[in-house]
Chains A and B, each alone.
Chain A
Amino acid sequence: MAKLPTPDELSKINYKPPEKRWVNTPAEFKDGFWCFGTRPKYLQAVDMPNPREWKPIEDDWKLPENWKEIFLEGFAERLKKYRSFRLFMDICVRCGACADKCHFFLGTGDPKNMPVLRAELLRSVYRNYFTTSGKLLGKLAGAREITFDVLRELWYYAFQCTECRRCSVFCPYGIDTAEITIICRELLNLLGLNTDWTMGPVANCYRTGNHLGLEPHTIKSIIESMVEDIETITGIKIEPTFNRKGAEILFITPSGDLFGDPGTYTCMGYMMLFHELGLNYTWSTLAAEGGNFGLFTSNEMAKKLAYKIYAEAKRLKVKWILGGECGHMWRVWNQYLETWHGPTDFLETPVSPITGTKFDYTSSLKAVHIAEFTADLIKHGKLNLNPSRNDYLKVTFHDSCNTARGMGIFEEPRHIIRNVCNHFYEMPENTIREQTFCCGSGSGLNAGENMELRMRGGFPRANAVKHVHKHYGINMLANICAIDRAALKPLMDYWVPGVEVCGVHELVGNALVMKGEKERTTTLRSEPLPEKEAKENV
């Protein structure tokens, strides 16, 4: 009888990764897992250092000759400036509680995506230059020099962290790896090593006030095109105002709501609501962007880009700011703005003109998240809602990292959804609220070229959606963040086809019964309302 081939002879693929310690395994740049390097013109536009053409995949990054010096000086400066950063470098006891909490680790299986190891990439450099034990004992104390390979590795993994802070929820010491990534990216930016996808919006925003670099008249015409759509759907003509001095409220939303599908339907929802309330508000075509990719670049840049909104509020002499459904816009406002610019004493503590509710908690910032504003309206019974118009939807809610972990907005969007929809189901507990899984595309990682990475990073989120899709027939994933609306769409398309993505105010717009409206036959997406369609076909 013929000799049986051994199993290994048939499948001669080497499955096992190299058995080396992580320090000795240089980062392998896999296609689809990294973003393109920034074009020099974007850096030049905002006076950032070391602009040049460079490609992350190439061996020569055309670094300035003294790059190590620049890097280490920047490091030292930040250790001095941010006490939290120094603390985070020092106090990790490597207990591992955070290790399996990162969606990138859970989706990629790459150990360097464990938050503890991600931080260790930078911490090892810290030890080498800034601690006595590291200086004396070197490798033995877990220290390593900054070399080109180390720099590449820092870059590769700094752009595989969405700064979502899920890991920090589980760390007994409160170490926030997101902050470590933020500083790491700052250091990389000293060497001109940002990504194109982040730097483009930064440069555009600096020039025109929005990510796409659009002039005021284009912003206006986009909003007017939505007004036309609203009129077709409801028979009601809405007349928004632009740059109107003396309006009570300045409304700011990320530009994704203006340009991107499905954000635009959310935006139509806002406008319908404001019209119905007779709200005295204005758009600004100069500050037509709530998003701030400066946050993903450097503290300085975030500060520069954020101020235009308050400068606009001052110029237009409004009383307070109402902010649309956005995540990182709120992180910037809530966590950093006061430190940068002090209390905004030229505005007033927001009071809802409809319910009289005073939003005391924002007495310094003077800005209210629209989810809180609308939840308050519903609580006071101020809206005429017909949730059955959303009966064709089975909805679940994705908590956005920034509004959830950064602000604690958990109940408001749920309260709204329960009042505008009849079918709402939660995803499993360990994937929502504080423990929510990131969309996998935040912090400027929502580019096209790194789609594989995004699909992997978003996998834990998609896995939970898949579960409710299977058990309850969920077909709509609602959220209150513009990056989510853009990023969850391809994520669902890949992992859970049949699940659409929407902002909460799209659902509000559908359910809102407006005075004098014609009978609705379509949704805000101009798709026939299923029940109406069924009746017509009888």
Chain B
Amino acid sequence: MGAKDLVRDASLRLIKGRGNSRERRMGLKDLIIAKKTAILKRWFDMILGTYPEETSNHLRKQADPFANPISHTISKGIEGIFSTVIEGTDIESAFPFLDNIIKLRAVQDSTPSGAIAFILLLKKAIREELKDKIHEGVIYHELLALESNIDEITLLCFDLYMKCREKVYELKANEVKNMTFRLLQRANHNL
């Protein structure tokens, strides 16, 4: 199954989830969208917090996307996830950003959980940002529904992560073959 098929599947599951709770979730969705910048910032900071301090200082300071590709990729990636999970845009349009961030995590962190965990931090960011409302208890059910959406995206990201790992193994296996391509071709020719 290719990455695109994975996305289509997840997209269907998400749409189904949204249909069930759309009416009831309006309140929460509006709240979150109103706090989009704050939530994204909180989420971004939490992810940077997973890097060593000397590194995260740099990642926070440098704004040029080419001088600081990690931050650029992370911020685009989480915006993509946010718009899919919260604002309801289709995953296809967020896919390139999602793909980038997962590719990055798949070669940066040596454990699958470490690579994917950043998505779950969105839950934490939302809960912290909407702490008061959550304590009032009014949006509790909506929150749970929303969090299943986040779980859904997490699963998709896990599949994408596996694709990346397969790719890395494929590249490893092909390395020597590519470098000696002519020789192999010649050897076959002479058989």
Contact = CB atoms under 8 A, between A and B. Distances in A.
Interface string A379-410: 00000000000000000000000000000000
Given A100-B62, A222-B183, A107 B69 contact: yes
Interface stretch (A12-20, A65-73, A141-149): A12-20
Interface stretch (B8-16, B30-38, B80-88, B171-179): B171-179
Contacts of A107: 69-70, 108
B10 to A, nearest CB: 20
Given A1-B140, A30-B110, A260-B181, A430 B123 contact: no
A447 B173 CA distance: 11
Given A31-B110, A460-B66, A258 B51 contact: no
Contact of A456 (B72, B108, B123, B179): B108
B181 A264 contact: yes
B37 to A, nearest CB: 20
Interface in B23-81: 46, 49-55, 58-59, 62, 64-70, 72-73
A109 B69 contact: no
A312 interface: no
Given A111-B55, A449-B172, A4 B140 contact: yes
A212 interface: yes
A446 B179 CA distance: 10
Q: Which one of A8, A106, A456 has the greatest number of beta carbons of chain B within 10 Å?
A: A106
A226 B178 CA distance: 16
Contacts of B117: 11, 13, 15
B124 interface: yes
Contacts of B108: 107-109, 456
Contacts of B128: 7
B104 interface: yes
Interface string A214-252: 100010011001100000000000000000000000000
A233 to B, nearest CB: 16
A32 B110 contact: yes
B49 A16 contact: yes
Given A100-B67, A463-B65, A212 B183 contact: yes
Interface residues of B, number: 56
B168 A463 contact: no
A425 to B, nearest CB: 15
A99 interface: yes
Contact of B67 (A430, A448, A467): A430
Contact of B58 (A32, A100, A452): A100
Interface in A104-154: 105-111, 114, 117
A7 B129 CA distance: 12
A480 interface: no
A1 B134 CA distance: 12
Nearest to B110: A30
Contacts of A109: 51-52, 55, 59, 70, 108
A452 B171 CA distance: 10
Interface string B177-191: 011111101100100
A30 B115 CA distance: 14
Contact of A32 (B114, B123, B140, B168): B168
Nearest to B183: A259
B182 A456 contact: no
Interface string A11-54: 10101110100100000001110000000000000000000000
Contact of B134 (A4, A463, A495): A4
Contacts of A431: 66
Contacts of A226: 182
Q: Which one of A32, A452, A460 has the greatest number of beta carbons of chain B within 10 Å?
A: A452
B48 to A, nearest CB: 9
B20 interface: no
A68 B25 CA distance: 67
A493 interface: yes
A7 B123 contact: yes
A225 B182 contact: yes
B42 to A, nearest CB: 11
A446 B64 CA distance: 28
Contacts of A444: none
B137 interface: yes
A221 B110 contact: no
Nearest to B179: A260
B162 interface: no
A261 B180 CA distance: 8
A117 B186 CA distance: 47
A267 to B, nearest CB: 9
Given A111-B54, A225-B186, A260-B182, A10 B49 contact: no
B121 A486 contact: no
B66 A261 contact: no
Given A30-B110, A463-B65, A106 B183 contact: no
A114 B70 contact: no
B22 interface: no
Contacts of A446: 175
B168 A452 contact: yes
A106 B167 contact: no
A495 B171 CA distance: 12
Q: Which one of B120, B128, B175 has the greatest number of beta carbons of chain A within 10 Å?
A: B175
A74 interface: no
A452 B107 contact: yes
B137 A428 contact: no
Contacts of B66: 428, 430-431, 460, 463-464, 467
B128 to A, nearest CB: 7
B52 A110 contact: yes
Contacts of B179: 256, 259-260, 486
Nearest to B56: A109
Nearest to B67: A430
A225 B185 contact: yes
B178 A260 contact: yes
A15 B49 contact: yes
B102 to A, nearest CB: 12
Listed from nearest, the 7 A-B pairs whose CB atoms lie closest are A448-B175, A111-B54, A7-B124, A463-B69, A261-B181, A15-B50, A490-B171
Given A106-B69, A222-B183, A455-B168, 6 more contacts: A109-B55, A431-B66, A451-B172, A459-B69, A459-B104, A464-B66
11 contacts: A7-B127, A13-B117, A16-B49, A17-B52, A100-B68, A111-B55, A114-B54, A226-B182, A447-B175, A448-B172, A459-B69
